Structure 1
Amino acid sequence: MPSALDEAVAGRRGSVVVYLAVAFGLTWLVWTPLAVAALSATELPPVPLVFFAGSFGPLAGAVAASAWSGGWRGVRAWANRTFSVRFRRVWWWALGMPVAYFLVGYLTAAIVTGGWPDMTQFGLTEKLPGWNVAAVAVVWILTFGLGEEAGWRGWLLPHLAERFSTFWAALIVAGVWIVWHAPAFIFNPTYREMGPGIIGWMLALVTGSYLLAWMGRGAGWSIVPVLIWHGGFDLLTASDQAAGTIAATISALVMVQGVIAAGILWRDRRRERVSWV
């Protein structure tokens, strides 16, 4: 019996092209003016709030590709699977992962600096000046959590996994994910200041892609656990306070988890049903 995912992608060909065109098109439409302004400025301006709107490109791509391949039925099938909470309860442990990252990251910072970080600054970012931590958390979850994951892990990954196995699909998604960020390296100080650290950032995205692919597959391609993880991760690592030891520690933890997840997906690749069409 075909799955809902099979039915949703069994329509017109070219859905991947539609997905990429819309996902990149919307995001880069929002981010390109910011990049142009940064190139023409003598001093890098603050990142405006509109930056977060660019995160909805992958979500828009998923809706467009689902509609292209299956019409309203395809969109409904995608939404029902992507936002389902009917997965094994064990995957709710995604709620605890950001908590564990927090404990390890802040303990490491305390050991390195000889004192606990100022908890009044937890999660705050100059990208959202004046916003409290609860509001910042909501923004991260609804933008780079929902906006990205509804597309990357909600549509592109399961679509490619039907053809190449989850292991190879996760690697392809990681490559697309990396390129999608390109304009941000012109105007976003976080990326501009990476220097050679961009190599580590790319490795983090690859290993993170494997971790999230393992979680998404385990949850039946629901993005709920992945969305929780992504929002929590961004809250912890994208804050001004996290720059340096905290972000590096958490990223290292994710990379270790990602390598383990990649090993699991590599082991399972031959057991997965792959259509190669």
Structure 2
Amino acid sequence: MPELPEVEVSRLGIMPYVEGQTVTEITIRQPKLRWPIPETLQQLKGQVIRRVTRRAKYLLLETDVGTAIVHLGMSGSLRVLPTSLAPEKHDHVDVTLSNGRLIRYHDPRRFGAWLWQEGDLPHPVLGKLGPEPLTDAFNADYLLAKAAGKKMAMKSFIMDNAVVVGVGNIYANESLFCAGIHPKRPAGSLTQTEATALVDEIKTVLAAAITQGGTTLKDFTQVDGKAGYFAQALRVYGKSGEPCPTCDTTLERIVIGQRATVFCPQCQPL
């Protein structure tokens, strides 16, 4: 699944071609995605896309009358293409622009979404989200306060979008390893020093992934078709049974919240 860095890379990729352009046509070939594409999305036609922003894993195409909300789901991707290029299988949505290009949404599994937010009214999918991890609102004091008294596993805690958005499975594994925190530790046991380290590592890992183009997953490529390459820099994710890059102890794999979790029992003691 594309995680926050992959979604941010998509935003940065389409932004130069999209901002300031007028939408001349919307073509919906498959309306049945994670949620049915609402007819109100047609209000995007004729509007100038003022900004392309991101909230959590949602891309927002902002206009004067409302905002198109795009989620890539498990296998979705966006391309900026010439209008002459014929669609292929699983190309479900085209947004044609006044500059002769189009945004094409491709999603084999159809777990993504295209929604419409009227005016400035907040859409329900954007409600109850925690702060963005790369902003000042996400800090050690905030994390410590949210963790107080909680018995849930640390990994599940930092993957909770109500706590902080965008820390998916890959980046939770990496951040906890770099901070030296066992993924099964109760969130409420977090100390001030650990909270500071964990916040710093989450920011560092996510920023590095964005800079390097997003993690290479089988379902994700950048807007220009080039795969990201942060996977080359992963230290523990997907490497159970291999030696720890810090101490050579064998990395172990467990399952937390139905997600594979890899950690070093020496560097991340329980």
Structure 1 length normalisation: TM-score?
0.29
Structure 2 length normalisation: TM-score?
0.29
More strand by share: 2
Which structure has the higher relative contact order (CA within 8 Å, separation 6+)? 1
More helix by share: 1
Task: State the structure with more CA Rg.
Answer: 2
